[in-house]
Amino acid sequence: MADIQISGTLYVESGGRLIPLDTSVITGPQGPRGLSTWQEVHTFAVQGAVGTATLPGFFVSAATGQTVKLAKARAKIGAGTSVSFRITRNGSDVTGFGTAGSPLRATTTASTTDPTDVTLASDDLIAVVVSAVAGSPTDLSVTVVLEMSL
């Protein structure tokens, strides 16, 4: 079965016949504005011993009319006592995702931070800053969840 585009209407070939599709009911990222929301995850990982550092970040990419929000984060270490960290946007702390004075903590039990969503802009640089370690931690994983909508 092949899709064929004819005069702005989507048709599907079935049994030698062209059948028009009602595209007004298509949902998901390709659907009409306001109806499409999905999540993307980005994971920061340090294999082996964890020390204080700013982990390389990623840039947010948003199309015109698209909304991007930092929704939550989940963190865990493989062994050791704890890692203190915060999430930054363009070098500044992101509200609800730790500060220098009140960092988030990763331990051997996975934990989720789910504050009020923070709206991001295209080209924002999101990074993780590890500010302190205790008990020789290893294998840090910090996953951030972005909520995208059109």
Per-residue pLDDT of the chain (150 residues; tens, 9 = 90+): 444 443 455 555 566 666 565 555 444 445 455 568 899 999 999 999 999 999 999 999 998 889 999 999 999 999 999 999 999 999 999 999 999 999 999 999 999 999 999 999 999 999 999 999 999 999 999 999 999 998
Judge whether 123 lies within some domain. yes
Judge whether 119 lies within some domain. yes
Distance CA 37, CA 150 (A): 7
Judge whether 67 lies within some domain. yes
Can you give the pLDDT at residue 36? 81
Judge whether 22 lies within some domain. no
Judge whether 28 lies within some domain. no
Judge whether 142 lies within some domain. yes
Can you give the pLDDT at residue 147? 96
Total number of domains constituting the chain? 1
For residue 109, the enclosing domain spans 34-149
Judge whether 16 lies within some domain. no
Contact 134, 127 (CB under 8 A): no
Q: Three-class SS of residue 76?
A: strand
**CA-angle at 44, arms to 73 and 129, nearest 5°:** 80
Judge whether 8 lies within some domain. no
Spatial CB neighbours of 31, under 8 Å, sequence gap ≥ 6: 150
Can you give the pLDDT at residue 1? 44
Can you give the pLDDT at residue 22? 53
Q: State both tokens at 76.
A: 């865990």
Can you give the pLDDT at residue 28? 47
Spatial CB neighbours of 149, under 8 Å, sequence gap ≥ 6: 34, 36, 37, 38, 66, 67
Q: What is the DSSP code (8-state) at residue 43?
A: E
Which domain CATH number covers 105? 2.60.120
Q: State both tokens at 143.
A: 């996953």
Q: State both tokens at 30.
A: 């390709």
